[in-house]
């Protein structure tokens, strides 16, 4: 959903060095890399290619942009790989992570090693550079906990906050941190390290505490990327499992709008460094799980079969981002509506579900 002539907040500010994207073959990284490469930037991707679908994304970027993208197969748990990757780059976007609460519950140690120690490894590699690059780090709304104190009422097909301020604006950054689940702890630890390295070591950095992101190149699973997961299950004629009652509400943000926010954050780094911002679709782009099923029925022509199961640990019944602070700092606005964004994701998924994954071309990968 690239809009012609869209101001990304960084016009005329192309730094000479390449941009590093850790986890850059993932869903968000692929969309950001494509925008940067299309705009003439050079991009270095560091990815261990462990997640489903990332090899397809990497092959797509290499075929589309050729030598301007460099793919380094490596892991953020390897300090040497990070030192190689950050050498000479002007900006960093740090997306490499263990991304699921459920996985963190099964293996808290690996979750910590990837999310917390991996981020610290990156920050140390950046700090060692003569001119440390600036970093945008993607944290999570899970740093605010399960929000059990938020009084909710069930109205129609969704939960609504009793607090009129929260109902109007969402959850703001003034909300106290309350790490919940090993995933929330590891991402929250990384979140705080990025902010402190900006303060203590003058490594420019900003944190995005993100809500639900969706869009092309997303291979959603039951544990992460639920919007795409629901659509994939419908396209494949498979049942969907809803944990809880389905009235839980999220603000969803189309990935192109997130990319715009990334670029604006880098362009405004002297102003926003050392700050965390809640980023999502905001109150105008909210949806409950059962409302998403209504959209799927309209897009797909039939309603998928749904099975309900118990609530899962750390599930939030309501989370909507108050994005006003970042909007005020950078003039960023969400452009995509829920219906248009879902339509584009559905079309992309329907077109690509049967495509084969080509092997990575010889000579394009640096280990």
Cβ 67 vs Cβ 361: under 8 Å: no
Residue 172: Cβ within 10 Å count: 16
Calpha distance 197→29 (Å, rounded):
23
Cβ 255 vs Cβ 208: under 8 Å: no
Residue 299: Cβ within 10 Å count: 17
Query: Which secondary structure element, helix H or strand E, spans residue 124, and what is its range?
Result: helix 118-127
Q: What is the DSSP string of 311-364?
A: PPTT--SEE-B--HHHHHHH-------HHHHHHHHHHHHHHHTTPPPPPPPTT-
Calpha distance 159→250 (Å, rounded):
10
Query: If you count them, how many residues does the chain have?
Result: 367
Let me know if 144 is a catalytic residue. Answer: no
- Which pair of structure tokens corresponds to residue 260? 């715009």
Calpha distance 200→194 (Å, rounded):
10
Cβ 164 vs Cβ 151: under 8 Å: no
Sign of CA dihedral 221, 96, 182, 202: negative
* Catalytic residue (one of 144, 159, 183, 197): 183
Phi/psi region, residue 69 (left: phi>0; alpha: psi -120 to 50; beta: rest), is beta
Calpha distance 169→324 (Å, rounded):
8
For tokens 């942009």, what's the residue? 65
Q: Which residues are catalytic?
A: 183
């Amino acid at each position: 959903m690239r809009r012609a002539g869209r101001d990304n907040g960084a016009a005329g500010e192309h730094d000479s060095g390449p941009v590093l994207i850790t986890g850059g073959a993932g869903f968000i990284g692929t969309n950001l890399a494509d925008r940067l490469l299309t705009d003439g930037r050079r991009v270095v991707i560091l990815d261990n290619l462990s997640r489903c679908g990332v090899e397809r994304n990497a092959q797509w970027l290499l075929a589309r942009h050729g030598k301007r993208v460099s793919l380094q197969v490596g892991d953020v748990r390897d300090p040497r790989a990070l030192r190689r990757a950050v050498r000479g780059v002007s900006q960093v976007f740090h997306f490499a992570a263990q991304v699921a609460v459920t996985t963190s519950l099964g293996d808290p140690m690996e979750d910590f090693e990837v999310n917390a120690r991996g981020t610290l490894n990156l920050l140390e590699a950046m700090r060692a550079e003569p001119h440390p690059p600036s970093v945008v780090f993607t944290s999570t709304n899970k740093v605010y906990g399960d929000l059990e104190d938020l009084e909710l009422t069930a109205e129609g097909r969704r939960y609504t906050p009793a607090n009129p301020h929260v109902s109007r604006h969402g959850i703001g950054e003034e909300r106290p941190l309350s790490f919940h689940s090993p995933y929330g702890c590891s991402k929250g630890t990384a979140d705080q390290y990025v902010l402190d390295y900006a303060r203590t070591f003058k490594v420019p950095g900003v944190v995005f505490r993100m809500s639900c992101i969706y869009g092309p190149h997303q291979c959603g699973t039951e544990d992460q990327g639920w919007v795409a997961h629901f659509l994939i299950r419908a396209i494949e004629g498979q049942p969907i499992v809803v944990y809880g009652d389905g009235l839980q509400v999220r603000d969803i943000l189309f990935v192109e709008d997130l990319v715009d926010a990334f670029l604006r954050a880098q362009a405004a780094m002297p102003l926003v460094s050392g700050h965390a911002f809640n980023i999502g679709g905001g109150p105008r782009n909210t949806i409950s799980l059962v409302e998403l099923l209504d959209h799927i029925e309209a897009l797909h022509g039939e309603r998928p079969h749904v099975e309900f199961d118990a609530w899962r640990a750390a599930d939030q019944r309501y989370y909507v981002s108050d994005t006003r602070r970042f909007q005020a700092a950078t003039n960023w606005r969400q452009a995509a509506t829920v219906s248009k964004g879902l339509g584009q994701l559905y079309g992309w998924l329907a077109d690509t579900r049967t495509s084969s994954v080509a092997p990575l071309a010889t000579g394009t990968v640096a280990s």
